[in-house]
DNA sequence: ACATTAAGTGATT
DNA sequence: AATCACTTAATGT
C-alpha cells in the first residue's frame, strides 16, 4: 500500500514530504456509496485519493442533493483544506462513488507543510485551480445547457471519473444528481439510446463513445 | 408465487 | 421540464 502512495505521488511531492506523509497518515479503504463527510461535520483529516472516486454534493433546503464535482485519483479536496486551516466545519457532503482507497492526513500537519514544502504549496494551489475549473463547468451546464445535454455530459463525465464506459446506476439516482425527476431522465435516456449515444440495461448505462483519460 | 424496485408511458400543467 | 397515475419488466425472497 505504501508503494501505491509512492507511485501516485512521488512526482508530485518532494521525497521528504512523501516520507512525512507516510509517517503521519494512514490508509483507509471505503466501500461504494458511503458518506465520508457530511455537511456540518468537523474535519479531522484530509484525504488523498489513491484509488476510486468521490463525489462532492451540496444539498438544498428540501434535502435534494446536487452534484458539485468529483475527486479523482491524485486529487485532494480543496474545500477540506480551507476548512482545516480555519478549524471550520464542512460545507459539503462527500460520498464515495466506487470502492475507494484514500490516505488520511491529519490536518494539524498541513499548516507546517505549507511553510516547509514548496511542492505542498503547489499541490494546494493546483487543487484549487482544478476544482474551480470543474465548478465553472458545472455552473456553465446549469446555466446554458438543456437537460438532455446535461444528462449526456453527466454520463460521459462519470464514465471518465470511474474509468469505465459502463456505469452501474439507476435512472432515479441520476435524477437525484441532476436535481430533476426520474421520469424526465427515463425519457431523455430513451432519446440518447435512439441517437446511439448510449445503451442500457436495468441498473446499468453504457456510454458508447468513451475515451479513457490520457 | 409474491413483494419490491426499476423503468416506460400518456395525459396534464 | 415536472408531476401524476398507472403499467410493465426485472429481481429478490
Distance A100 CA to B3 C1' (A): 34
Residue A43 has what pLDDT?
84
Average pLDDT over residues A152-171: 92
A202 touches strand C (CB under 7 A): yes
Nucleotides of C under 7 A from a protein CB: 1-5, 10-11
Shared-domain flag, residues A49 and A68: yes
More confident residue, A89 or A198: A198
Give the confidence band of A74 by pLDDT, cuts at 50, 70, 90. Answer: confident
Give the confidence band of A206 by pLDDT, cuts at 50, 70, 90. Answer: very high
| Distance, CA of A123 to CA of A109 (rounded, Å) | 15
Residue A81 has what pLDDT?
77
Name the closest nucleotide to A182, judged by C1' and CA. B7
Q: Could you tell me which of A30, A65, A24 has the C-alpha nearest to residue A46?
A: A24
Domain end among A98, A125, A142: A142
Does residue A80 belong to any structural domain of this protein?
Answer: yes
A62 touches strand C (CB under 7 A): no
Torsional sign, CA A93, A177, A132, A120:
positive
Split into its structural domains, chain A has a count of 2
Across A22-31, A90-99, A205-214, least confident range? A205-214
Say whether pLDDT at A62 is over 70. no
A191 touches strand B (CB under 7 A): no
Does residue A51 belong to any structural domain of this protein?
Answer: yes
Shared-domain flag, residues A150 and A131: no
Distance A119 CA to C5 C1' (A): 59
Distance A178 CA to B13 C1' (A): 22
Nucleotides of B under 7 A from a protein CB: 5-11
Distance A196 CA to B12 C1' (A): 30
A143 touches strand C (CB under 7 A): no
Say whether pLDDT at A213 is over 70. no
Question: What's the CATH number where A177 sits?
Answer: 1.10.10.10
* pTM attached to this predicted model: 0.87
Q: What is the 3-state secondary structure (H, E, C) of chain A?
A: CHHHHHHHHCCCCCHHHHHHHHHHCEEEEECCCCEEECCCCECCEEEEEEECCEEEEEECCCCCEEEEEEECCCCECHHHHHHHHHCCECCCEEEECCCEEEEEEECHHHHHHHHHCHHHHHHHHHHHHHHHHHHHHHHHHHHHCCHHHHHHHHHHHHHHHCCCCEECCCHHHHHHHHCCCHHHHHHHHHHHHHCCCEEEECCEEEECCCCCCC
Please give the residue range of the domain that contains residue A161: 145-207
Shared-domain flag, residues A96 and A31: yes
Amino acid at each position: 500500500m505504501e508503494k501505491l502512495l509512492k507511485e501516485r505521488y512521488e512526482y508530485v511531492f518532494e521525497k521528504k514530504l512523501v516520507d512525512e506523509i507516510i509517517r503521519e497518515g494512514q490508509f483507509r479503504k471505503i466501500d461504494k456509496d458511503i458518506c465520508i463527510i457530511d455537511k456540518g461535520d468537523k474535519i479531522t483529516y484530509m484525504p488523498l485519493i489513491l484509488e476510486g472516486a468521490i463525489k462532492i454534493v451540496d444539498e438544498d433546503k428540501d434535502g435534494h442533493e446536487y452534484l458539485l464535482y468529483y475527486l479523482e485519483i491524485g486529487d485532494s479536496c480543496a474545500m477540506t483544506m480551507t476548512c482545516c486551516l480555519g478549524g471550520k466545519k464542512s460545507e459539503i457532503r462527500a460520498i464515495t462513488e466506487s470502492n475507494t482507497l484514500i490516505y488520511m492526513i491529519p490536518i494539524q500537519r498541513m499548516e507546517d507543510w505549507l511553510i516547509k514544502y514548496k511542492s505542498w504549496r503547489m499541490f494546494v494551489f493546483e487543487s484549487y485551480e482544478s476544482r474551480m475549473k470543474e465548478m465553472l463547468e458545472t455552473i456553465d451546464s446549469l446555466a446554458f445547457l438543456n437537460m438532455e445535454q446535461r444528462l449526456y455530459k453527466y454520463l460521459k463525465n462519470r464514465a471518465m471519473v470511474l474509468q469505465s464506459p459502463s456505469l452501474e446506476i439507476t435512472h432515479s439516482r441520476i435524477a437525484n444528481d441532476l436535481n430533476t425527476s426520474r421520469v424526465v431522465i427515463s425519457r431523455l435516456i430513451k432519446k440518447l439510446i435512439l441517437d446511439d449515444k448510449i445503451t442500457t440495461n436495468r441498473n446499468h448505462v453504457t456510454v458508447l463513445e468513451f475515451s479513457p483519460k490520457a
